[in-house]
Chain A
Amino acid sequence: MIDITPSHYMVLSATLFMIGVIGVMVRRNIIIIFMSIELMLNAVNVNLVAFSHQWQHVTGQVFALFVIAVAAAEAAVGLGIILAFYRNKETVNIDEMNVMRW
């Protein structure tokens, strides 16, 4: 059985992050985009916890907990915005969300 090294964690984290990034950039449904953002946050959490374990230092875990808390708050605010948007536009397509331009 091979040891799980920080590199593995980092590869996992990077993969997750890239999936999130690509999701944000290519999907049109705003809910999916939102989920992709959550994916990126959690990729970061994986990294933090991995290094916390590696260096036997609690700071990373504490930080991850903070990220989870902030993500929860962000989810609340973001879903509120999406709801308000939907009430105006009757859609959750990101391409319709383009009034902030020249």
Chain B
Amino acid sequence: MDLIWLIPLLPGLGAAVNGLVGIRFFSKAQAATVACASMGLAAALSIYAFIQLLGSDARVHDVVLAVWIPTIPLETVDGIGAFRVDWAFRLDPLSGLMILVVSGIGFLIHVYSTSYMQGEPDGAYARFFCYLNLFCFFMLTLVLGANLLVMFVGWEGVGLCSYLLIGFWYHKPSACDAGKKAFIVNRIGDWGFVLGIFLIFFTFGTIDFRGVAEGAAAMPIEATEFGAISLICALLFVGAIGKSAQIPLHVWLPDAMEGPTPVSALIHAATMVTAGVYMVGRNAVLFSHAPMVMSAIAVIGALTAVMAASIGLTQTDIKRVLAYSTVSQLGYMFLATGVGAFAAGAFHLLTHAFFKALLFLGSGSVIHAMNDEQDMRRMGGLKIYMPVTFVTMLVGTLAIAGIPPLSGFFSKDEILFRTFLHNRALWALAVLTAAMTAFYMFRLIAMTFYGEYRGPAWEHNGSGHGGDEAHAAADDGHGRGAWHGPHESPSAMTGPLMLLAIGAIVVGFVGIPAALGGGNAIEQFLEPSFTASATLAEVETGAEGEAGAVVGEPVDAEHEMSRAGELGLMALSILVALGGIALAHRLYIARPELAEAWRARGAGVHRVLLNKYYVDELYHGTVVRGTMSSGRGLWRFDGLVVDGAVNGASWLTRASAKCSQLFDTYIVDGVVNLVGWSAWEGSFSVRRLQTGLIQNYALVTVLGVFVFVSVYVFVR
């Protein structure tokens, strides 16, 4: 348990080895071995730590590795406080759950990638695994961090890795643009997060999660006024919006699909985008004290869910459908946290990680089989070519649609139930989303796996063509040589698919609600993470009045609801899901021409949905264009005024130098030359004295002596 700091460090080491040595020297097998081994070890360690956590009474384990920022006196609301940050990691139920998800699914995706990225050259292959490992390092740091600043390190690090991996194929301009978009949109969220951290320190005098929770628990709930805690929560939520792609910062996630598919599965479905939900859950006590912000979270979550789901109805790119589905499901999670059901949100995070990673990896398998084709209109009928992918994706689809007893049913139903208790309008939106989810997911399945094959023709292996050899080569390294038609993926890809499918089936059983005879184990397990008194078991009873009143509110309401009512809601959501599935079946399998007719009838709506409500265009027209034109204005200011000043200064210097040069040439040199010239000219007359006649000289000498003697004699 004291070794939990090794869990993030191992992938970090893997990234260092692959990045420093691997990119130059490693073969593909070596790079993949380093990356998968480090992740496998981290996953094993995570499972071990989790088992220990389950076995021990204490629900929280802190490991302080080193002092990061020694104590600095900084001003807080109660005078000068001590700002001190440790490299501290904390294992509690919530982070334990998260490290299982991150390292476990991360490991499976690493294994999957070894095959998926086989077509890359050696250097790029090692680079990919370096980034992927680095991502896991930062993500595990994020979830294990015991204070906001360590979490922020991970938060920024995963953003960086997201940028690097979205733009992994940097020779594609669209990938570069998508990477930049993700990074810049996330900056807006990070701005809120950083301000939130500042304000947390200013308000509570600490940035340790536990200290903040205890501090917040001691403060009154800001039910009516928008106080410090509300402001903190609003700022933190801005960060969560950016990271988890909620309205209005959702625009980066669909574009992030430019990255390799395993990246989409790991970063943009299972782990990184859920960091926002995790962060809100981490600060559950804080958020519980800001009901106004909670309402805003619930509303934004519900709106995001329904909006993204409606966009997903019309998209034709297989990965984009899944991306909007992810945005929509993240909306569910925020809806859950917004209505106070933190555990339900975390539960949905867990199940979503499994089935969405499964769906993404399945779509990767399909894309791989179709020779990098992503448009579902050019797929179809793949069921017979790739049975494993079909079955596992069907499992994932049933899970996300909420068909019992698959995992998505339990978590989604928990959210719907809690939302129903809280607010009927939001519940209606959520149910609508559930129907749309079932519809677009089965539309995806129908367009991809059912019907007739609509893709490009391929070169059949002729008998006299050395078919076996060519096929072996195609299996070995994809992207090289001729494409031999859709085919099942190698076992390194189908293996993780099957494991994730099993996960998507069973992981829901940890949260069987009481109405179905279960104990809702996960909710009880996670409870300590969402209360202020989680640190000490014995305090739990004492602080019941304080913390219990905050988090226990929905529990009280639950009693009012009859068990029959809950079962009725469940039946309704199943019916809604089945309705969506039936509609998708009718439109895309039974009578495809009907879909065309419907599209023609609702052409306007369809166009709006296909263009994602024109949000990108709106942002481009306002924010991007405004930024660009102000940048251009600044550039012009730079060119005219700043450069003008610099150039003016240089012109002045040159002019004064010119003056000085003229002075030098004509005045100083003139004087010198004048002296030389006059000596020269004077010499013409004086040199005549030099006659060369000795008697002249003698005469002058005698005259001189005569003069001197005369002066001596007569004048003196």
Indicate with 1 or 0, residue by residue over B213-251, a CB within 8 angstroms of chain A CB atoms. 000000000000000000000000000000000000000
Chain B residue nearest in CB terms to A95: B693
Q: Confirm or deny: A65 has a beta carbon within 8 angstroms of a beta carbon on chain B.
A: no
Q: Does residue A19 face the partner (Cβ distance < 8 Å to B)?
A: no
Inter-chain contact A24/B695, CB cutoff 8 Å: yes
Contacts of A95 in B (CB 8 A): 693
A1 within 8 A of B: no
CB <8 Å contact, A102 and B687? yes
B693–A25 touching, CB < 8 Å: no
User: Once the chains bind, are A21 and B702 in contact (CB under 8 Å)?
Assistant: yes
Asked if A25 and B692 make an inter-chain contact with CB atoms under 8 angstroms apart, the answer reads no
How many residues of B are counted as interface, with CB atoms below 8 angstroms from the partner's CB atoms?
11
Closest residue to A28 on the B side, CB-wise? B695
Q: How far is the CB of A35 from chain B (nearest CB, A)?
A: 15
Asked whether, in the complex, the Cβ of B692 is within 8 Å of the Cβ of A100, the reply is yes
Q: CB < 8 Å: which of B688, B690, B691, B702 contacts A25?
A: B702
Q: Is A11 an interface residue (CB 8 A)?
A: no
Interface presence of A98 (CB below 8 A): yes
Please name all residues of chain A whose beta carbon is closer than 8 Å to the beta carbon of B691 when the two chains form the complex.
98, 101
Chain B: which residue is nearest A100 at the CB level? B692
Query: Are A102 and B688 also in contact (CB < 8 A) when A94-B693, A95-B693 are?
Result: yes
B516 interface residue per 8 A CB criterion: no
B699 within 8 A of A: yes
C-beta contact mask, B36-54 vs A, less than 8 Å → 1, else 0? 0000000000000000000
**CB distance B698 to A24 under 8 Å?**
yes
Q: Are A94 and B692 in contact (CB under 8 A)?
A: no
Chain A residues in 8 Å Cβ range of B3? none
Q: Is B66 an interface residue (CB 8 A)?
A: no
Task: Say yes or no: is B564 at the interface (Cβ < 8 Å to chain A).
Answer: no
Would you list which residues of chain B between 680 and 697 have a CB under 8 Å from chain A?
687-688, 690-695
Query: A69 an interface residue at 8 Å Cβ cutoff?
Result: no
Q: Chain A: how many interface residues by the 8 Å CB criterion?
A: 12
Q: Contacting A98 at CB < 8 Å: which of B687, B693, B699, B702?
A: B693
Which B residues are in CB contact (< 8 Å) with A21?
702
Contacts of A98 in B (CB 8 A): 691-693
A12 within 8 A of B: no
Contact B695 A94 (CB under 8 A): yes
A1 to chain B, nearest CB (A): 33
The residue in chain A whose Cβ has the minimal distance to the Cβ of B693 is: A98
B690 and A97 contact, CB distance less than 8 A = no
Q: Decide yes or no whether A99 CB sits under 8 A from chain B.
A: yes
| B494-511 with Cβ < 8 A to chain A | none
**Residues of chain A within 8 A of B687, CB atoms compared:** 102
Question: Which B residues are CB-close (under 8 A) to A97?
Answer: 692-694
A99's closest neighbor in chain B, by CB? B692
CB distance from B531 to the nearest CB of A (A): 118
**Cβ–Cβ < 8 Å partners of A102 in chain B:** 687-688, 690, 692
**Across-interface contacts of A24 in B (CB, < 8 A):** 695, 698
CA distance A99 to B691 in the complex (A): 9
Give complex CA distance A35, B698 in Å.
Answer: 15
Residue in A25, A26, A94, A99 with the greatest tally of chain B CB atoms within 10 Å: A25
Distance between A71 CB and nearest chain B CB, rounded to angstroms: 18
Q: A21 CA to B698 CA in the complex, in Å?
A: 9
User: Could you give, for residues 687-716 of chain B, a 1 whenever the CB lies within 8 Å of some chain A CB and a 0 otherwise?
Assistant: 110111111001100100000000000000
**B683 to A, closest residue via Cβ:** A102
Instruction: Report the bound CA distance from A98 to B693 in whole Å.
Output: 5
For A101, list chain B residues within 8 Å (CB): 690-693
Question: From A98, which residue of chain B is reached at the shortest CB distance?
Answer: B692
How distant is the Cα of A100 from the Cα of B693 in the complex, in angstroms? Answer: 8
Alpha-carbon distance A21/B706, docked complex (angstroms): 12
Chain A residues with Cβ below 8 Å from B692 are 97-102
A101 to B697, CA, bound (A): 12
Q: Per a CB cutoff under 8 Å, which of B688, B694, B702 touches A94? A: B694
Q: Chain B: which residue is nearest A26 at the CB level? A: B695
The contact sample of 28 A-B pairs, CB cut-off 8 A, is A21-B702, A24-B695, A24-B698, A25-B695, A25-B698, A25-B699, A25-B702, A26-B695, A94-B693, A94-B694, A94-B695, A95-B693, A97-B692, A97-B693, A97-B694, A98-B691, A98-B692, A98-B693, A99-B692, A100-B692, A101-B690, A101-B691, A101-B692, A101-B693, A102-B687, A102-B688, A102-B690, A102-B692
Known pairs A25-B699, A94-B695, A97-B693; list 13 more (Cβ under 8 Å).
A21-B702, A24-B695, A25-B695, A26-B695, A94-B694, A95-B693, A97-B692, A97-B694, A98-B691, A101-B692, A102-B687, A102-B688, A102-B690
Residues of A within 8 A of B (CB): 21, 24-26, 94-95, 97-102
Instruction: Kindly list the 8 A-B residue pairs having the minimum CB-CB distance in the complex, ordered from nearest.
Output: A101-B692, A98-B692, A102-B687, A102-B690, A100-B692, A101-B690, A98-B693, A25-B695
